[in-house]
Amino acid sequence: MSTEPVSSDPVSTDPKSTDPVRSDPVSTEPTESAARRRTRLLTHGAVRGSFSAFVRASCRPVITGMDNVPSDGGFIVASNHLSFLDSVLIQSLFPRQVSFFAKSEYFTGTGLRGHAMRMFFESVGSVPVERQKQSASVEALYELGRIASDGFGVGIYPEGTRSRDGRLYRGKNGVGWLALATGLPVVPVGLVGTEKLQAADSHSIRPSRFEMHVGAPLRFEHLGPKHPLPVRREATGRVMDAVAAMSGQERAEGYNAPPRSHDRG
């Protein structure tokens, strides 16, 4: 089963853009109330716990810094991205729920397999979004902001898509916008070796040891959704420096290339 998330940063990287993120949500109505989300997370807790136990037993991961995860209130996880499995690994191993974007196809399947897939991704807190559709991706970013502001954890990959050569690419500005728009702490995460768990051209999972290092939360001023682009870029740079310190990766100067249409990305 591929667990590919969609590109986690729909924000424009055009250097001439003064407001690459829309200042108004696509929809002013939240897609799910905080009370309903709490109920659903409790309902699906058993699925998440079972997968966590499987990962710990089969992969024997090296995990450090989990005490850096805030014990209450909303927070933002910013991680490097090496594998299709990165999202569910973070979601299953973190002590608190973390919501990531996931392709909408994972939630719309039919039959027994479709129901099982939908239940799994709901259980780990994934948020459906249509891949390669800019308006949907922008609304999904706002949805993450709403979830975090309701007191939950959300996750984002500043690189936008997984690294195919192991280097850490320049971060796009979605994570900076999210941090400044919400004023919530950003928890940097460095993953090491997760690319060994599932090859890019395979649907099978091969248990292998990996590392997950969690850094101290970064704090940013709460500026709301409208703020200067240079401030957003500076925030993104701080986040990427912290992620690099956790992952130990070689830094790439440019942005990561988006996945090809036939690539699971």
Give the pair of three-digit tokens for residue 34: 């905080």
What are the pLDDT digits (tens) for 227-246? 999 999 999 999 999 999 99
3-state secondary structure of 36: helix
- Return the amino acid letter for 235: A
Question: Within 13 Å of residue 131, how many CA atoms lie on the same side as its CB?
Answer: 19
Give the pair of three-digit tokens for residue 107: 């939630």
- pTM of the predicted model as reported, rounded to 2 decimal places: 0.79
Q: Please, which residues bridge with residue 30 across strands? A: none
Domain ranges of the chain: 34-247
Choose among 10, 5, 65: nearest CA to 188: 65
Give the pair of three-digit tokens for residue 75: 């927070």
**H-helix or E-strand spanning residue 104:** none
The label of the residue with tokens 């200067």 reads 228
62-64 and 98-99 beta bridge pairing = unpaired
pLDDT at 7: 45
Q: Divide the 265 residues of the chain into consecutive groups of 10 and give the mean pLDDT of each group.
A: 46 41 39 61 69 92 98 97 92 91 73 75 72 63 92 94 94 95 98 89 84 98 95 98 98 85 52
**H-helix or E-strand spanning residue 154:** strand 153-156
CATH architecture of 34-247: 3-Layer(aba) Sandwich (3.40)
Average pLDDT over the chain, rounded to an integer: 81
What are the pLDDT digits (tens) for 16-49? 343 444 433 333 344 556 666 666 556 567 777 8
Largest CA distance in the chain: 49
Give the pair of three-digit tokens for residue 17: 């853009």
Choose among 261, 255, 101, 104: nearest CA to 171: 255
Compute the distance between CA of residue 196 and CA of residue 210 in angstroms, rounded to an integer.
Answer: 8
